[in-house]
Structure formats: C-alpha cells, structure tokens
Structure 1
C-alpha cells in the first residue's frame, strides 16, 4: 500500500476519535450542559446526519479543487469547529458544531476513499479501504479511550481540544504527501454519476451497510452507561472497554481487508450471522463482566469487518460513479450512524433500560440478513443469460 494512503489514515484517526469519543463522554456532557443522557446521545446522531447530508454534497463541491486542496480545506474546517465546541457552554452550539464538523468530515472521507482506491490496482479496493479505515479502528483503540480518560481527568472539553491538536500534524502530512494534481473533472458528469444509484445491487449494498452500521453505533454510543449501570463496572473501566472494542475493530478491518477482494459474499454472510448471534448473546449476558469484556472485543471485530467489506463492495458497485462513490458509501453508512443512536436512545427513554440498545442492534442485523436473503432470491430469478447489474461480487 502507498505510504500516502497511511497518512490519509492519520487524518481519519483524528476524525474517528471525534466521531466515536462521545460514547465515553455522554454522561459528562449531559451533567455539564444540564441535558438528559439520551439528549446528549443526539450529538452522535447529529454528527451522523451531517455526514449523511455532507457526503454527496461535499463530494460534488470538491470537484472544483484538487484532491489535496479539498482534503486540506475539509480538515482545517474540522479543526476549527472543535475549538468552538471546546469553548462553548451551550448545548445548541455544541450540537451545531457537531453538524458542521460532520460536513467537513464527510467531505474529507468521501474524497479520501476515492483518493485511496485510485492509488492501488483496480482489484485491490478492499485492501485500500481497509488501510484507510484502519485510522478509524486505531481511534477506537487509542483515541476514544484516551478521550474518555481525558474526560475523567479534566472534563469532556479536554477531549475536544485533543482532537483539534491531532488535526494539525494530519494537515501537514496531507500537504506534504498527497500530490496536488488538478481539479477532478474527468469522467461522467454529476447527473451521470447520480444515475449509478439506480443499480439494484448497489442499493442493496448501501442498505446493508446502513443497517449494520446502525447496529454498531446503537450499542457503541451507549456503551459507557451499559458498562457502569448494567454490568456494574466502575467508570474507570470505560476507557478499557472502549479500547477492547477498538482492538477488535482493528483486527476485523485488517482481516476483512485481506478477504474482501477475493470472497466477499461468504465473508458477509458468515459475518452477519455471527454478528446477530453476538448481539443476542451480549444482551443476555450484559450483567456478567467477563462475558461483556469478551463480547465487546468480538463484536468490534465483526462489526468493522463486515462494515469495511460492505464499503469496499459499494465502491466496486459504483464503478460508474468514480467521483461520488466515496460520498455514496459515506452517506449510507452514516444513515445507520444517525438512526442507531436515535433508536437506542428511544428504547432507553421508553424505560427499557440501558440493555435495550443491544436488542435494537440485534434487530437491525436481523433486518440486514432478511434484506440480503430477499435480494439473493430476487437475483437468482434473473433469467439465465440476462445481464445482471454490478454489485457485491461472489
């Protein structure tokens, strides 16, 4: 893999830290800004909504700039909104900074996905995606637990300052390592690329990604109160549990990256079945510390292994949209990232307890499996010799 690809991963690490760190800061933010825990959880949903809206819009807007220029501008904007977030005393302002930061993150990730896959051979999109998303999983391993630890020691604002500082070397690395190039104007026009969304297999892949990612974020957003209120572990355990989730995530992305380009369908089917079983088992055993520690690791690996494979398959399926494919994938996955925490918060607000997000996660993965099954049946009904649309490869 090209070295510049790993430098893009450094920026994704900073952004992933910001996106995920709220799972360890929700209770602190809720107390400080005098809102409920489900309301504080909406900060995660707001970020995801910004990603959904921003991914295609920012991908289109970035065509007027070189990839290096677009990546740098998005990351500078991301840094500035975290400074504002660290200084504000208003929940409404903090919510707004999450949306704006998400727009910048969405634009960056959409351009970075296309840039990363353009650096490798056409058949190596899975490995390129895995290398880029490794920054997200490292954020889970190191950045998110560090954010939770900073929150414990100096308050949640210190975590926002840390993300802003992390963005500085990432900006310098991108300016030095990513070729300047010219504005990305080659290929079909925007309307032509948007027509790629009509591909049935691409739509199924994006829907599966939204459901699986929704399940991941549903539980991950409320992992800290789950560990303290249901499992009975002290708050000092929260950073360690988050780190275990990140270690599993890194392992899942790394292993899936090696298989996603060769046998994606068996990997996805077996991975989603195991993911469903894991969420159900997690819900049943959430009061047992040993089971929770093991399942956090396993579910992190399965969630990100399946998720990264679906992203790479979306990029393969969107071959007719070379500039917007990253935006399509980013938007779809953040539909799940917005819906999951909202559904989990709704379950908690309904009085179902902090264990309920695990049940919602299981339900979302079950829906993903049902969707995949229906799509497979419909695919097999295509007459022999008919041209099947491109999408998830067998």
Structure 2
C-alpha cells in the first residue's frame, strides 16, 4: 500500500474526530457562548449538512486541480476554521466556521477517495478504501472520546486546538507527498462524469451506502440508553459497550480491506441478512446484558464491513467519473449519518423507547435488502 494512503488516513482521522467532537461538549459551549444547549447541538447538525452539500460541490470546484493542491487547500481551510472556532466568542462565527470546516472536510475526503482509487490497481481498491475509512472508525473509537476528555478537563476550545495540532503534521505530509499531477482519467469532462453517475447500478449502491450507514448511526447514537434503560447495566458500562462496537468496527473495516477485493459479492450476500438478523435480535433481546455486549461487537463489525465494501463498489462502478465518484460516496454516507440519528430520536421518543432505534436500524437494512438490482 502506498505510504500516502496512511498519511491521508491520518488526516481523515482528525477530520472525523472533529465531526462528532462537539456533541459531548454542548453544555460547556452553551454556557461559554451564552446560548442554549439545543442551539449548541445545531453545530453538529450544521457540520453534517455541510458534509452532504460540500462533497459534490467541492469536488466540482477542485476537479481540475492537481491532487496535491486540492488536498492541501482543503486541509489548510479545515485547520483555519478550527483556529477561528477556538478563538471566537461568537456563536454565529463558530456556527459558520463549522459549516466551512465541513465543506473543507467533504472536499478533502472526496479528493482522497478519488486519489487512492487512482494510486492502486483495481484489485486493491477495497484495501485502500478500507484504510481511509479506518481513519473515520478510529475517530469514533479513539478520537472523539479523547477529544471529549480534553474538552472536559480543560475546555471545549482546547478540544478544537487539539484537532489543529493533529492536523498540521498531516498538512505538511500531504503538501510534500500527494501527487502533483492529475491522472489522465481526471480530464474527463464534467458532463461525461455526470452521465456516468446516472448509472442505475451506481445509484443503487449509493442508496445502499446511505441506508446501511443510517442504520449504523441510528443505533450507535442511542446505545447508551439501551445499556442503562433496557439492559439495566450500570452507566459505567457504557464506555465498554461503545468500545466493543468500535472494536467490531475496526475488525469489520480490516476484514473488508483484506477480503473485499476478492469476495465482495459473497460478503454483501451473507453480511446483509446477517446484519438484519443482528439488529432484530438486538431489539428483541436487549434486556439481556450478555446479548448487548456480544451484539455491540458483532453489529459494529458487520456494519462497517458492509459500508466499506459498498464504498469500494462505488469507486469501481463509477470508473468513468474519477473526480466525482468519491464525492457522491461521501455524500451518501453522510446522508445516512445525519438521517439515522434523527430517525432514532423519533423512535426513542415513541412507545418503543430505547429499543426504538434498534428497530429502525433493522427496518433500514430491510429496505436495503429488498432494493431492486436493476
């Protein structure tokens, strides 16, 4: 695997940490900026929306630029927005900085996926994509808890400064090591790329990405109340369950990278029904602590393995859209990441209570399994 892939994964780790970091620091932000907790919560929503809109728009804006220039510019803008956010005393300025940072993040990830797809041979795309997505997975498992701890011990601004410190070495590495020339495939016209993106098989895979990722984050967001309310475990068990989910996710991404290039069809054919069965069992048996511990690991693994395989399929299917395919994959993942928790919140507030998000995850995977193939 080219060393650049590891460098890009490091930058994706920092950006993924930033995406979810402020969710654990809402009370401190609200008190410091003299606003409400719900208003502070909108900072995370703004970032998600910025990722969805920013992925295709930034891909269009940067498609004629050499990868080194585009990646460096996006990462520099991302860092600058965190400096501004950490220094400001205005909620409005912080809100705007989060949106701009999300656009930069989305552009960076879209160009990254297109770049790694061009760097490796077709039989290694799954492995390269898995390495990039491992950065996002590690952000959830390690980055967000560590950043939240820094913000709790110091203040929320220190957490943003930590993102800056983590991103600067990645910026230097990208500025030195990223390709400084576009590939020949990148000369494809935007009209031709848009036409290629209308492929029905590709659209199906993009919808699957959104559904599977939506199911993942729907339940992941509400695992804490499942642990305490349904399984009746002590609140101290919450980090353990989240860690098990994260460990499973890492195993899933590794498995997708290791076997996805050879056995993609087999993994999706078996993994999809297994994921559905897992969410159903989770919802029905969440009152049993052993089941919660086991399925947290299993569902994390299946969810991220399938998600990684699907992103690889996007890159393979959209071979005639080399600069735009990564942006559409990024947007679809973030549509799921934004819609899943919203649907989970609605279900949690219903009569289903804490098992509601688990049931919604099962429903989303069910829809994915019955989508027509043509």
TM-score (norm 1): 0.85
Rounded Cα–Cα distance in structure 2 between residues aligned with 1:169 and 1:97: 21
Aligned to 2:134: 134
Higher mean Cα deviation, 111-120 or 280-289?
A: 280-289
Alpha-carbon distance in 2 for matches of 1:364, 1:244: 22
Provide closer, same or farther for how the CA distance between residues 30 and 284 of structure 1 changes in structure 2, counting only shifts above 3 A.
Answer: farther
In 2: Cα distance, 1:320 partner to 1:185 partner: 8
Q: Tell me the equivalent position of 2:69.
A: 69
1:361 pairs with 2:343: no
Shift of 1:56: 1.1
Equivalent residue of 2:286, what SS?
coil
Q: Which residue of 2 aligns with 1:176?
A: 176
After TM superposition, the structure 1 stretch with the greater mean CA deviation from structure 2, 152-161 or 55-64, is 152-161
C-alpha distance in 2, partners of 1:283/1:273?
A: 15
Matched ranges for 1:321-340 at <5 A: 321-340=321-340
Q: Could you tell me which residue of structure 2 aligns to residue 382 of structure 1?
A: none
Aligned residue number for residue 204 of structure 1:
204
Q: Which residue of 1 aligns with 2:78?
A: 78
Contact map agreement 1:231 1:287 (CA 8 A) in 2: yes
Aligned equivalent of 2:193: 193
Q: Secondary structure at the match of 2:197?
A: helix
Specify the alignment match of 1:391 in structure 2.
none
Relative to the length of structure 2, the TM-score reads: 0.89
- Measure the CA separation in 1 of the matches of 2:347 and 2:252: 28
Alpha-carbon distance, 1:188 to partner: 1.8
The match for 2:242 is 242
The CA deviation at 1:298 is 1.5
Cα-to-partner distance string for 1:297-344 (whole Å, 9 max, x where unaligned): 211111110001000001111011111111121112212122112212
Deviations 1:66-89 (A, max 9, x none): 211111111122223233444556
Q: Quick one: structure 1 residues 320 and 251, their matched pair in 2 at CA, closer, same or farther if it must change by over 3 Å?
A: same
**Alignment match, 1:258:** 258
How far apart in 1 are the matches of 2:138 and 2:235? Answer: 22
CA distance in 1, matches of 2:222, 2:31: 15
Whole-angstrom distance in 1 between the partners of 2:242 and 2:236: 11
User: CA separation of 1:226/1:163 partners in 2, compared to 1, >3 Å: closer, same or farther?
Assistant: farther
Kept in 1: contact 2:16–2:136 (CA 8 A): yes
Q: Is the 8 A contact 2:64 2:186 kept in 1?
A: no
The equivalent position to 2:36 in structure 1, one of 28, 34, 37, is 34
**Residue 187 of structure 2 aligns to a residue in which SS?**
coil
* Bigger Cα displacement from structure 2, 343-352 vs 109-118: 343-352
Shift of 1:17: 1.4
1:8: which partner in 2?
Answer: 8
Structure 1: distance between partners of 2:213 and 2:28: 25
Assess, with a 3 A threshold, how the Cα gap between structure 1 residues 94 and 253 changes in structure 2: closer, same or farther: same
Cα distance in 2 for residues equivalent to 1:79 and 1:235: 35
2:308 matched residue in structure 1: 308
- Stretches of structure 2 lacking an aligned partner (at least 5 in a row): none
In the TM superposition, residue 271 of structure 1 has moved relative to its aligned partner by 1.1
- Partners of 2:92 and 2:349 in 1: CA distance: 20
Bigger shift: 196-205 or 77-86? Answer: 77-86
1:178 Cα deviation (Å)?
1.5
Aligned-pair distance for 1:125? Answer: 1.1
- The structure-2 alpha-carbon separation of the partners of 1:255 and 1:22, relative to structure 1 and needing over 3 Å to count, comes to farther
Unaligned runs of 5+ in 1: 380-394
CA contact (8 A) 2:260 2:267 kept: yes
Q: For residue 385 of structure 1, what is the aligned residue in structure 2? A: none
Q: 1:374-385 counterparts in 2 under 5 A? A: 374-375=372-373, 379=374
Shift of 1:170: 1.2
C-alpha RMSD of the superposition: 2.7
Q: Which residue of 2 aligns with 1:386?
A: none
* 1:210-263 deviation line (CA, Å, top 9, x unaligned): 100111121223334544554455555444433322221111011112222122
Query: What secondary structure does 1:355 align onto?
Result: helix
Aligned-partner Cα distance in 2 for 1:159–1:324: 32
| Residues 26 and 37, structure 2, Cα contact 8 Å, conserved in 1 | no
Matched residue pairs, number? 372
8 Å Cα contact 2:118/2:183 also seen in 1: no
What's the offset of the Cα at 1:198?
Answer: 1.6
